Amino acid sequence: MTTTPSRPRSPGASAAILLSVLLLFGAAAFVAGLVVGGNGDGIAGPVPSGATSPEPTTAVPSEPATPRPSQVIETVSCAEPTEAFAVLCDVYAQIEQGYVDDVDEETLVDGAVRGMIEYGLGDPYSGYLPQSQYERALDDLSGEFSGIGAEVGMENVDDPDDLQSCTVVTATCAIVIVAPLDGSPAEAAGLRPGDRILEVDGTSTVGESLSTLVFEIRGEAGTDVTLTVGRGDEELDITITRAVIDLQEVSGELLDGDVAYLRLSSFTDRSTALLRDELGSLLDQGATAIVLDLRGNPGGYIVAAQGIASQFLPEGELLFTVESGGDVQRWAAEAGGLATDPSIPLAVLVDGGAASASEIVAAALQETGRATVVGISTFGKNTVQIWNDLEHGGGLRLTTDRWFTPSHGSVAPDGVQPDVVEEAAEDPTSEDDPQLDRALETLRGG
């Protein structure tokens, strides 16, 4: 935290429609994605173009939702398979009995599970991790991780609106850098937003899922990974030394003497407390207006979105979630926010990299009239994922809910539309930040 009037650099983020990713895993509901490097990963992103979002139709409970436990489900046995599963059991038996080489049972099952999720669901936000990867992912939820420190995502280079067909890397579906984290090895090595990852240590990424590639790029601190990236018409080999990175979710400073600038990079389990501390410090220093910067923030835990929004809203509904069974739950603002006084003007900065939990906060503050949203339209993702343990020690990430704004609107697929439209600087490395400039003008009544 600083009181100098220096201007923060605009975060670099790809303008393309991406499957945004962030470091977050756990049993609680979240609206986030994957980070390349970490001891806890989750996934989410925009709803594929053409997907429908049902309006809530059931009674809305009066209390905020809480993470729900895994449900007991009916299992299918090959001793008495359903008609649909009979073919799976038949193929498995024929492979076991007649395939020319020895086959490993666990490998067959692993492949079947991956295919069921990656091709059967057609949902790039649902996923599966085998035991070895899932254990690594659950090691540490603190926000400190080992890797290269870059947000990655999927992009359909032929049809950016069609992410449903991009469950694995193909000639038209690329894994791309959304943005390197501030101060990360990826940033130091020269990775840029929009770089397409073509190879990892000389092995092509074609045919791999996003979850698999993330764990190939991750690794122990001090080890190297070489990424072959496509940048425009060039192909570059970039070697990056992995490191332990402490994710800086919140930063802040006082601008123009009395404007609290708060940059939130992700919604982790500690983000609310960190932002509250920073906000309180800036208010104590005399801040009379606030800029909340959510640009390039791909999301995180839904409870963190609730906590962040509650710092600015004294009461009222923040969002609704509609579960797979059609049940509706309400998430309301919590008491005790530091900047709920409407006389403290608030501007929220967004862009195409602001997704999921960022959209929850931006939409709630916009629809309640608490904030002016400045920038360009957000990502457009309104689904929630939950991780469930599997019997063999792996994990299943499953889309279980859709969320809606306080007025029951959906941000999918067009995103939150800003009140004040302002494009970012053409050069992502430039010190110029026209979006922040416009937000400051808006706060001054300009």
Q: pLDDT digit string (tens) for 97-115?
A: 999 999 998 889 889 998 8
SS3 30: strand
Any domain includes 241: no
Residue 188 lies in a domain: no
Q: Tell me, what's the pLDDT at 114?
A: 87
Kindly state the average pLDDT of the residues 106-126: 86
Q: How far is CA 126 from the centre of its chain?
A: 13
Identify whether 9 is part of a domain: no
Pick the most confident of 138-147, 330-339, 382-391: 330-339
What CATH number does the domain containing 428 carry?
Answer: 3.90.226.10
pLDDT score of 446: 65
For residue 288, being part of any structural domain is answered with yes
Of these ranges, 3-12, 13-22, 144-153, 189-198, the one predicted with the greatest mean pLDDT is: 189-198
Residue 2 has pLDDT above 60, yes or no: no
Q: What is the pTM of this model?
A: 0.72
- Residue 367 maps to a domain: yes
182-197 per-position pLDDT tens digit: 778 998 999 987 899 9
Residue 76 resides in a domain: no
Whether 356 is a known active-site residue: answer: yes
Taking CA atoms, 310 is separated from 40, 92, 406, 410, in Å, by 26, 52, 14, 20
Q: What is the pLDDT of residues 147-167, one digit of tens each?
A: 898 878 778 888 876 766 787
pLDDT, mean over the chain: 80
| Lowest mean pLDDT across 132-146, 219-233, 355-369 | 132-146
Give me the pLDDT at residue 29, please: 39
In order, the DSSP letters of 215-242 are HHH---TT-EEEEEEEETTEEEEEEEE-
Number of domains composing the chain? 1
State the pLDDT confidence band at 203, using cuts at 50, 70 and 90: very high
Is the pLDDT assigned to residue 40 strictly greater than 80? no
Name the active-site residue from 10, 358, 381, 410: 381
pLDDT reported for residue 7:
44
AA letter at 278: E
Domain enclosing residue 262, as ranges: 250-383+402-443
Choice among 151, 155, 249, 367 that is catalytic: 367
Alpha-carbon distance of 305 to 362, in angstroms, equals 10
- 367 tagged catalytic: yes
Q: In b/e form, how buried is each residue of 68-103, taking b as 16+ CB within 10 angstroms?
A: eeeeeeeeeeeeeeeeeeeebbeebeeeeeeeeeee
How many residues would you count in the chain? Answer: 446
Q: Are strands 243-246 and 300-301 parallel, antiparallel or unpaired?
A: unpaired
Give catalytic status of residue 142 as yes or no: no
String of DSSP letters for 311-362: TT-SSSEEEEEEETTS-EEEEEPPS--TT--TTS-EEEEE-TT--THHHHHH
Please report whether residue 73 resides in a domain. Answer: no
Burial of 35 (0-12, 13-18, 19+ CB in 10 A): buried
Q: Give the pLDDT confidence score for residue 4 in this predicted structure.
A: 36
Burial of 444 (0-12, 13-18, 19+ CB in 10 A): exposed
Banded model confidence at residue 405, pLDDT cuts 50, 70, 90: very high
pLDDT(279) > 70: yes
pLDDT reading at 376 higher than 60: yes
Flag whether pLDDT at 361 surpasses 80: yes
Report the distance separating Cα 371 and Cα 374, nearest Å.
9
In a domain, residue 421? The reply is: yes
Enter the tokens of residue 59: 């009674």
Give yes or no for a contact between 361 and 424, defined as CB atoms under 8 angstroms apart.
no
Mean pLDDT calculated for residue range 370-396: 90
Asked if the model's pLDDT at residue 5 lies above 80, the reply is: no
pLDDT at 37: 36
Single out the catalytic residue among 356, 358, 410, 422: 356
For residue 154, the model assigns a pLDDT of 79
**Out of 8-12, 150-154, 322-326, 363-367, which region has the weakest mean confidence (pLDDT)?**
8-12
pLDDT above 60 (res 73): no
Q: Please give the average per-residue pLDDT across 297-320, as a whole number.
A: 92
User: Average pLDDT for residues 186-213, to the nearest whole number?
Assistant: 90
- Arithmetic mean of pLDDT, 228-257: 92
